[in-house]
């Protein structure tokens, strides 16, 4: 047998453990592991002992914003930033683009915008809003990996929230299609009763979106899943109370999963200054006790995965000049830095790299049915990353590859440097739009 590429690594993450490995690739797929003899290859790469060969990350929560708000972000810039950070597959969220991905026709528009621009593999979520239940079968047939809804104001008028009846209706439709329903779970009544945020005050913003809003909404989603059999997924879980609802629902056999994000695991409300909207997201970054509860929920399997929720915007929309946290766009820009951010914090807690990759590579791939992604195994796509797990670097504006060089991690020292990336067995070039547009298996 001949191979296109052979990578010999003294350290590799395979099957949930770190060990030596030899990986052979042909036609973009891993075709042999360890037992690679008597062959000729076009290229052999030897990795040094300071490098760990890992599967490319799968980020199932990215807002690319193109078309319609491409001045916020776009497929070229988002996928370049992602690949630079070791993400080889992302799923684009259905809102913040115009049109939002609410029908098969809108999905076709989104896919057309991505053609010839994507530097990594890209798949798509659809959206569920009041009145589009009849469009959901067409979206799934066209290849979305699931549909997402909001239970409260999404921040953009073209993507309104579902009320209790709408959630039940959508859950029933998605269940009948065998699909996945992702939910931004904050309860509008609890939010309405909370004190309003004001000006530059970050603590006031946190108080305006209390943990109870998340817990009440997650409970409603769990009830809908139990009643319909719909597989549901809670996006960007931020609180101990929300995690406890997920924990109890799982124990009761409800088909529910949950994610959290690097910012909830590593940033803390107590260290965020007033007048710094680059830290604003919804739900908000909370305090140290909430953060500790999220790490515990990851450890016991309550939270399944860690993804970026990359949601960038121009400086004028983030209101950086005035520092008005109350009125700034809420979103953390982080797709490039998720792996080192989480690895830096996880290592400090005594966790190992294979555990982190379970949350950021294999877990997200399994969530959305991408069986060929997120692992180093025979038959898997040869999406691979050479990761120097003990090297520090500082996040500078010059290093940021998203459209606007703005992130709450600016100036931070992080551990873990992506040295080299292979996409489908080919050396990754940030200038080359070699990514594929993916459709969910049906």
Which is nearest to 315 in space by CA: 334, 335, 329? Answer: 329
119: tokens are: 């530097």
Residue 439 covered by a domain = no
Find the angle CA(143)-CA(125)-CA(240) to the nearest 5 degrees.
140
191: tokens are: 């939010």
As a whole number of angstroms, the distance between CA 142 and CA 138 comes to 6
Residue 425 covered by a domain = no
Are the C-beta atoms of residues 206 and 239 closer than 8 Å to each other?
no
Strands 57-62 and 29-33: unpaired
Residue 21 covered by a domain = no
Digit-by-digit pLDDT tens for the chain (442 residues) are 799 999 999 999 999 999 999 999 999 999 999 988 777 788 999 999 999 999 999 999 999 999 999 999 999 999 999 999 999 999 999 999 999 999 999 999 999 999 999 999 999 999 999 999 999 999 999 999 999 999 999 999 999 999 999 999 999 999 999 999 999 999 999 999 999 999 999 999 999 999 999 999 999 999 999 999 999 999 999 999 999 999 999 999 999 999 999 999 999 999 999 999 999 999 999 999 999 999 999 999 999 999 999 999 999 999 999 999 999 999 999 999 999 999 999 999 999 999 999 999 999 999 999 999 999 999 999 999 999 999 999 999 999 999 999 999 999 999 999 999 999 999 999 999 999 999 998 7
Which is nearest to 110 in space by CA: 145, 82, 160? Answer: 145
Please give the residue range of the domain that contains residue 178.
56-372
Full-model pTM: 0.97
Check residue 39 and give its pLDDT. Answer: 72
Check residue 36 and give its pLDDT. Answer: 83
As a whole number of angstroms, the distance between CA 384 and CA 7 comes to 10
Check residue 249 and give its pLDDT. Answer: 98
What CATH number did the domain enclosing 225 receive?
3.20.20.140
Are the C-beta atoms of residues 113 and 146 closer than 8 Å to each other?
no
- Residue position matching structure tokens 């798949």: 123
Residue 187 covered by a domain = yes
23: tokens are: 């990986």
Residue 167 covered by a domain = yes
- Greatest CA separation for the chain: 70
Residue 416 covered by a domain = no
As a whole number of angstroms, the distance between CA 25 and CA 175 comes to 38
Give the number of domains in the chain: 1
Chain Cα centroid distance, residue 106: 22
As a whole number of angstroms, the distance between CA 13 and CA 22 comes to 11
Residue 156 covered by a domain = yes
Identify any residues that bridge with 413 across adjacent strands, giving them in sequence order: 394
Burial of 133 (0-12, 13-18, 19+ CB in 10 A): middle
As a whole number of angstroms, the distance between CA 64 and CA 425 comes to 25
Which is nearest to 438 in space by CA: 63, 134, 58, 135? Answer: 58
Strands 384-394 and 52-55: antiparallel
């Amino acid at each position: 047998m001949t191979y296109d590429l052979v990578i010999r690594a003294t350290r590799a993450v395979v099957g949930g453990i770190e060990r030596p490995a030899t990986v052979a690739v042909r036609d973009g797929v891993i075709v042999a592991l360890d037992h690679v003899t008597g062959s000729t290859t076009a290229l052999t790469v030897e990795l040094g002992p300071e490098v760990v060969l890992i599967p490319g990350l799968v980020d199932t929560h990215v807002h690319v914003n193109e078309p319609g708000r491409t001045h916020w972000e776009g497929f070229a810039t988002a996928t370049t930033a992602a690949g630079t950070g070791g993400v080889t597959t992302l799923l684009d969220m259905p809102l913040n683009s115009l049109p939002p991905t609410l029908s098969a026709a809108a999905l076709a528009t989104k896919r057309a915008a991505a053609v010839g621009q994507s530097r990594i593999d890209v798949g798509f979520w659809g959206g569920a809003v009041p009145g589009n239940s009849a469009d959901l079968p067409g979206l799934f047939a066209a290849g979305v990996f699931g549909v997402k809804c909001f239970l409260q104001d999404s921040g953009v008028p073209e993507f309104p929230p579902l009320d209790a009846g709408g959630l039940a209706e959508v859950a029933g439709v998605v269940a009948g299609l065998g699909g996945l329903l992702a939910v931004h779970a904050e309860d509008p009544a609890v939010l309405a009763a909370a004190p309003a945020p004001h000006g530059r005050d970050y603590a006031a913003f946190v108080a305006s979106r209390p943990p109870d809003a998340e817990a009440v909404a997650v409970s409603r989603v769990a009830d809908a899943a139990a009643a319909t059999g719909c597989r549901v997924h809670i996006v960007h879980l931020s609180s101990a109370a929300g995690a406890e609802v997920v924990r109890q629902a799982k124990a009761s056999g409800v088909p529910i999963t949950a994610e959290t994000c690097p910012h909830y695991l590593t940033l803390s409300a107590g260290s965020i200054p007033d007048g710094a909207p680059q830290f604003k997201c919804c739900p908000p970054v909370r305090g140290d006790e909430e953060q500790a509860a999220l790490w515990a929920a990851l450890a016991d399997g309550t939270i399944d995965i860690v993804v970026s929720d990359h949601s960038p915007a121009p400086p004028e929309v983030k209101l950086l000049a005035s520092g008005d946290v109350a009125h700034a766009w809420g979103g953390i820009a982080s797709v490039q830095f998720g792996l080192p951010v989480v690895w830096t914090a996880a290592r400090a807690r005594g966790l190992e790299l294979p555990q982190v990759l379970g949350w950021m590579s294999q877990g997200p791939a399994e969530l959305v049915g991408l069986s060929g992604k997120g692992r180093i195994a025979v038959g898997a796509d040869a999406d691979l990353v050479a990761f120097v797990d003990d090297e520090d670097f500082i996040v500078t504006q010059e290093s940021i590859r998203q459209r606007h060089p703005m992130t709450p991690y600016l100036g931070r020292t992080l551990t873990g440097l992506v040295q080299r990336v292979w996409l489908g067995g080919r050396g990754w070039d940030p200038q080359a739009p070699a990514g594929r547009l993916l459709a969910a298996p049906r």
